[in-house]
Amino acid sequence: MSNVVGVLAIQGDFHKHTESVIACGHPAEDILEVKTPEDVSKIDRLIIPGGESTTVGLLLERFGTAKAIQGKTSSGMPIWGTCMGMILLAKSVEDRKQFTLSLLDITVRRNAFGAQIHSFEAEVPFSKLDEPILGVFIRAPVVTEFSSEVEVLSKYQDQVVAVQQGKILGTSFHPELTHDIRLHKYFLNL
């Protein structure tokens, strides 16, 4: 059975995710940088990195890549969004009209901890891991509403910073910017 990991490579820190997936022992030739609908047809799971959600959302919609991702996810493809990626997976974004994939039944608040200079690192508990994980928060979003289908995996200062709904995972922070590959392993096994 093929297990091609796609990393959305329109903009943002996608190289870091590729490095983490390789560090998990996944063969480099089974990782695909995804831009087009055709790329989506070749993958078995997808990671959406950090970046600028407004720009990337617009391009996903314009090139039809969004439709392809939505189609594959509805037939069970696992997908993980970090930071911008979680925003793009959300059903809605607080106080804004912007394109999202609408695959996770959550509402997010963008830049919930302030501007770029308010970026920080903090240890956060993660219910699927035995030990806490170092969360790197860069203009990070938080989840402000979620349906009963959604499992909360992590909270920081009482704010929801990681969720899962079926095989769809969203984290406010960036595990790809640390050397800790436990979350990548978790995702690869979903």
Positions that interact with ligand GLN (CB under 6 A): 50-53, 83-84, 87, 110-111, 138-139
How far is the C-alpha of 29 from the C-alpha of 163, rounded, in Å? 29
Q: Between residues 14 and 126, which has the closer beta carbon with respect to ligand GLN?
A: 14
Question: Which residue out of 26, 38, 149, 174 is catalytically annotated?
Answer: 174
Q: Between residues 126 and 137, which has the closer beta carbon with respect to ligand GLN?
A: 137
Q: Between residues 111 and 178, which has the closer beta carbon with respect to ligand GLN?
A: 111
Q: Between residues 30 and 111, which has the closer beta carbon with respect to ligand GLN?
A: 111
Closest contact distance (angstroms) between CB of 126 and ligand GLN is 18
Token reading at 153: 């995996």
| Secondary structure, 3-state, 146-170 | ECCCCEEEEEECCEEEEEEECCEEE
52 assigned to active site: no
Question: Which residue out of 17, 121, 145, 176 is catalytically annotated?
Answer: 176
Closest contact distance (angstroms) between CB of 49 and ligand GLN is 7
The sign of the CA dihedral 139, 174, 1, 151 is negative
Closest contact distance (angstroms) between CB of 66 and ligand GLN is 16
174 assigned to active site: yes
83 assigned to active site: yes
**122-152 b/e (C-beta count within 10 Å ≥ 16 → b):** eebebebbeeebebbbbbbbbbbebeeebee
How many Å separate Cα 87 from the centre of its chain?
8
Closest contact distance (angstroms) between CB of 180 and ligand GLN is 17
Question: Which residue out of 17, 26, 83, 184 is catalytically annotated?
Answer: 83
- How many other CB atoms are there within 10 angstroms of residue 32's CB atom? 18
Using an 8 Å Cβ cutoff, are 88 and 118 in contact? no
Catalytic residues: 83, 174, 176
